Amino acid sequence: MAGKTTVISQALLSEQFAYCDRIAAYWQERGTVPTAYVETYGCQQNEADSEKIRGLLAQSGYRITDEAEGADVVVMNTCAIREHAEQRVFGNLGALVHTKRRHPGQKIFLCGCMAGEQIVSERIRKSYHHVDGVFSTHHLWQFPEILYRTLSTGKRVFYVEDEAGSIAEGLPQVRDNILKAWVSIMYGCNNFCTYCIVPYVRGRERSRKSGDILAECRTLIENGCKEITLLGQNVNSYGKDLDDGMDFADLLAAIAQIPGEFLIRFMTSHPRDASQKLFDTMAAHDKIAKQLHLPFQSGSSRVLKAMNRHYDREKYLAAVNYAKSVMPELVLTSDVIVGFPGETEEEFMETLSLIEQVRYDALFTFIFSPRHGTPAASMEDPTPKEEKNRRFDLLCATQNRISEEIHRGYVGKTFRCLVDGKDGEMLTARTEGGRLVRFAGEDSLIGTYRNITITGSNTWSLTGNLK
């Protein structure tokens, strides 16, 4: 259904790398090492994009810092998913007036999903004069050119034209964490769920070539990576725009063949195309984590139809039941929206009954937020805010009880966990299902897989002892 995936040519990328060289020369002439700060909002897709923005900055001679104060470049990589997320960005962006006043040479950029909304770029143009540049996700690969233009002309630059989107391979990356890496396997979304802004700001679905993905995974693992999370808005439709005959399950199986000790996770999986083949593939490979984030959004088939999700309650439950039947140890998490326009009390109760039936380890719960330009934003929405809040609180309380019960069931069991960091005096680790465990141990354990026996639990996490 989608058009052919467009890949940015090597020649165009070389032009951008030449801009990196020019920026580096600009700073060398001034005898300083410039600094840059990148702030990331939103989902893992944005985290992965920020690693590329940092990569391009590092290639242009910037040292990456962890605060905006005094930085020569500040990049706000933003999220548009809910109004609250946008308000936070506008608040923090406003506050940058002061950092810029103290450091007038500072260049401030806004990018990411908000930059793909015309009303946002217009608002920045009119009311946020201290912002030097705005670029949507489609233009990320042109950041060196954008930065160079602001440095050399002192003018504001807007790269916000709407596009179907393309793929840029070979951009440098400064990864936050080599132990646990994000790998984008596709970009954009074709689903147009009626509440969601993502397809408008990230363009059409496009898949990276499997060879490029495999090469990236191989390099990561050779460099000590122990956990790879494959990213896409709807990973199950991976490959539909390519003609190499590889679907998402095939891709997972191919990555699982790479030698080394590591786990593969992925998100997000859309229930519409979650196939038995996918679950069978997960079950067949030890290196694929038995963890599934499968957003259901609503327990009511009527609401799901109004959301344009292309599955109903029965189809969703059938997929979950099949997955559990082939992977009895499967850890399930999900996203849910409360207060979609017109959701009745009975329909909300169907959401509650679905979470009781499935029993997720954890749930990401959201109150519907109307997004400009999406169909749901103009649907009739008679339910008062207080009523939505009440439903939301009831949903959270129910889920918290379920999470607590499931976590209590872990006590006494032993899990192989990746030790991934520290939290105060304790080490932190993740079970194969992605649950957080705190335990006492030597720092030298970080980066290794260990067996940990669970000794305590609460709603959110577990505690344990090394076995």
Tell me the DSSP string of 159-175: E-------B--S-----
Helix (H, G, I), strand (E, B) or coil at 62: coil
- 350 to each of 300, 331, 385, how far by Cα in Å? 6, 22, 20
List the end-to-end C-alpha distance of the chain, in Å, as a whole number: 51
Task: Report DSSP state, residue 179.
Answer: S
Residue 50 in contact with ligand F3S, rule: CB under 6 A: no
Q: What is the C-alpha separation between 166 and 208, in angstroms, rounded?
A: 10
* The only residue of 60, 210, 229, 297 in contact with ligand SAH, by rule CB under 6 A: 297
Q: How far apart are CB 132 and ligand SAH at their closest, in Å?
A: 29
CA angle 121, 122, 124 (to 5 degrees): 65
Lookup result for tokens 């408008």: 200
Q: How far apart are CB 337 and ligand SAH at their closest, in Å?
A: 5
Residue 381 in contact with ligand SAH, rule: CB under 6 A: no
Interacting residues with ligand SF4 between 196 and 215 (CB under 6 A): 196, 198-199
x-marked contacts with ligand SAH along 320-359 as a string, rule CB under 6 A: ---------------x-x----------------------
Lookup result for tokens 């979609």: 340
Q: Select from ligand F3S, ligand SF4, ligand SAH, none the partner in contact with residue 307, using the beta carbon and a kind-dependent cut-off of 5 to 8 Å.
A: none
Q: Where does 195-274 have alpha helices with state H?
A: 198-202, 210-222, 248-256
Interacting residues with ligand SF4 between 247 and 286 (CB under 6 A): 270
Helix (H, G, I), strand (E, B) or coil at 279: helix
- Which part of the chain contacts ligand SAH (CB under 6 A), choosing from 4-12, 240-248, 252-260, 367-375? 367-375
* The only residue of 5, 46, 210, 234 in contact with ligand F3S, by rule CB under 6 A: 46
* The only residue of 20, 68, 113, 338 in contact with ligand F3S, by rule CB under 6 A: 113
* The only residue of 52, 54, 82, 180 in contact with ligand SAH, by rule CB under 6 A: 82
Residue 399 in contact with ligand F3S, rule: CB under 6 A: no
In 3D space, the residue among 264, 176, 177 whose CA is nearest the CA of residue 214 turns out to be: 264
Tell me the DSSP string of 59-95: HTTPEE-S-STT-SEEEEEE--SSHHHHHHHHHHHHH
Q: What is the C-alpha separation between 365 and 367, in angstroms, rounded?
A: 7
Q: Select from ligand SF4, ligand SAH, ligand F3S, none the partner in contact with residue 45, using the beta carbon and a kind-dependent cut-off of 5 to 8 Å.
A: ligand F3S
* The only residue of 173, 268, 291, 399 in contact with ligand SAH, by rule CB under 6 A: 268
Q: What is the C-alpha separation between 38 and 15, in angstroms, rounded?
A: 23
Residue 148 in contact with ligand SAH, rule: CB under 6 A: no
In the complex, which residues of this chain contact ligand F3S (CB under 6 A)? 42-43, 45-46, 79-81, 112-113, 198, 202
In the complex, which residues of this chain contact ligand SF4 (CB under 6 A)? 189, 191-193, 196, 198-199, 233-234, 270
